[in-house]
Amino acid sequence: MNLYDLSAVEALEGLNKGNFSAVEYVEELLTQAKSSSALNAFSYLPNDLILEEAKSSDEFRRCSGSTGLLCGLPIAIKDNINVAHQPTSAGTPGLKNHFPARDAPVVSTLRAAGAIVFGRTNMHELAYGLTSNNLTYGAVKNPFDPTRVAGGSSGGSAAAVAARMVPCALGTDTGGSVRVPAAFCGLAGFRPTLGRYCGEAIVPISHSRDTVGPMTRNVEDIVLLDQILSGHIQKPTPACLTDLRIGVPRNYFFNDIDPQVANVIEEALAQLQKLGVTLIEADINGLTDCNPLVGRPISSGEVLKDLPAYLEKYAPNISVEDVVSQVASPDVKEIISYQFAPKNRQQILKAYNIAISSLKPALLQNYQHYFDRNQLDAIALPTALVVAPPIGEDASMELNGRRVPTTPTLVHNSGPSSIIGLPGLTLPVGMTSSGLPVGLELDAPAGQDIRLLSIGLAVEKCFYKPAGVRHNKPAGVRHNKPAGVRRNKPAGVRRS
């Protein structure tokens, strides 16, 4: 058994039983990270510091009669979440020398449970995109096909977990930045209800949309991290499939979908129905153009206050002008220069006020009516309309024979629910004929995180072999295939 192949729960079980030490585990992961370094998943990986933390974890385990729930578990942290005395650059040159004095609360919570911080993961600059093609730190490459993106903005977190460099990672999600890269890299990714996890000390875009989210290789590991990050000890059990009513809103979420993605999703839905899930074919009103008319104005209006406030509190020697003027990635430069240009401020705030006061409440009401009218436990939709596009297509990409704008296309499906703060869970449900992962997203009403994770535990079993079989194996590692679906192993992973 390769230690790098263990899930978080499996790793903790091995550590608790004394089958291996934290140092042995971390050493193998660091070797794996070195062999997969071409994927460019990390912007900062301090080997010596990680090994020191592992040694401290082993010593604590030897000397203490009890340990934290995550004692010895390595977790990678996205580079926009403050980690004490480590660079928090958010992937942008203006913050390259930003070394916070304290951990963000989500990081200190993980440390208090015994987790080991395993480096900083590469990302789309300032979290302003879905490709993680970062001009300063380089593009993050997809482990299933290194010519393609890993998704964004949490692309480094997704690539690191998928390529077995670490069992789990934290990302952040404004409009899809956890769920999209998780889907592109064959992972489980969870966006909690807004406010379930503390959002302090994280380089922001939008306080009413940003949230931390875990990325793992199965839902059981999501459940574990959610318990720690939320402080809720309630542990969900798999839902009964025959009791589930899941909505399938085809209008909007299935419009203009890549045929290969559609095939995988339709097979997944058919499998759920075959196993007793009641699928309700019904549409949600008012989704057309909600991302550009509601989501984007809210993010643009709130970043004007949120980014300067973060800098004032955590990086007082760095001005917002310093950050904006040094942005390197062309796609990010265009957006953020527009947002912070004084001549545009009045127009941005006018659009923000309309979106936040009337359009967002209307969108929330449409979702609530949809859930209530159809008596639904969750909604099912393709996490993204497409598979991971080729690296370099940041402005436009190909979809069904024509060029379309990249960011609006990649955030099309994941955006609406994030505008109103709903929890969303993406699960890998199969592969295209070209060997690229496809994710199915499940959304639930706000506050129904435990119920959503319960559904996720049950649904996951529909596509994989029973518990104890490791999921989504990297290339060259023996793995188990979902029935009837060809699986490829991510590139850049050592053969066993």
* Mode of pairing for the β-strands spanning 424-431 and 169-173: unpaired
The CA radius of gyration of the chain, in Å to the nearest whole number, is: 21
Q: Is 418 a catalytic residue?
A: no
Q: In what order do the strands lie in the sheet with 74-78?
A: 42-44, 116-121, 74-78, 169-173, 211-216, 188-191, 424-431, 437-443, 378-382, 245-248, 278-281
Among all chains, which residue has been given the structure tokens 């015994």? 114
Q: Is 21 a catalytic residue?
A: no
> Per the residue annotation, which of 36, 89, 132, 153 is the catalytic one?
153
Q: Residue 41's Cα: distance from chain center in Å?
A: 14
Q: Is 481 a catalytic residue?
A: no
Residues in the chain: 496
For residue 480, what are its two tokens? 């188990």
Helix (H) or strand (E) holding 361: helix 360-374
> Per the residue annotation, which of 57, 132, 177, 454 is the catalytic one?
177
Residue 365 sits at φ, ψ, to 5 deg, of: -65, -40
Cβ-Cβ contacts under 8 Å for 223 (sequence gap 6 or more): 235, 236, 453, 457
CA-nearest of 141, 231, 215, 147 to 180 is 215
* Mode of pairing for the β-strands spanning 396-399 and 402-405: antiparallel
Rounded CA-CA distance 425/491 in Å is 25
> Per the residue annotation, which of 57, 78, 141, 360 is the catalytic one?
78
DSSP letters for 419-464: HTT--EEEEEEEE-TTS-EEEEEEE--TT-HHHHHHHHHHHHTTTS
Three-state SS for 113-153 is CCCEEEEEECCCHHHCCCCCEECCCEECEECCEEEEECCCC
Q: Which SS3 state, helix, strand or coil, does residue 299 take?
A: helix
DSSP letters for 364-395: HHHHHHHHHHHT-SEEEEES-SS-PPBTT-SS
Q: Residue 50's Cα: distance from chain center in Å?
A: 23
For residue 423, what are its two tokens? 């929890």
Q: Which residues are catalytic?
A: 78, 153, 177
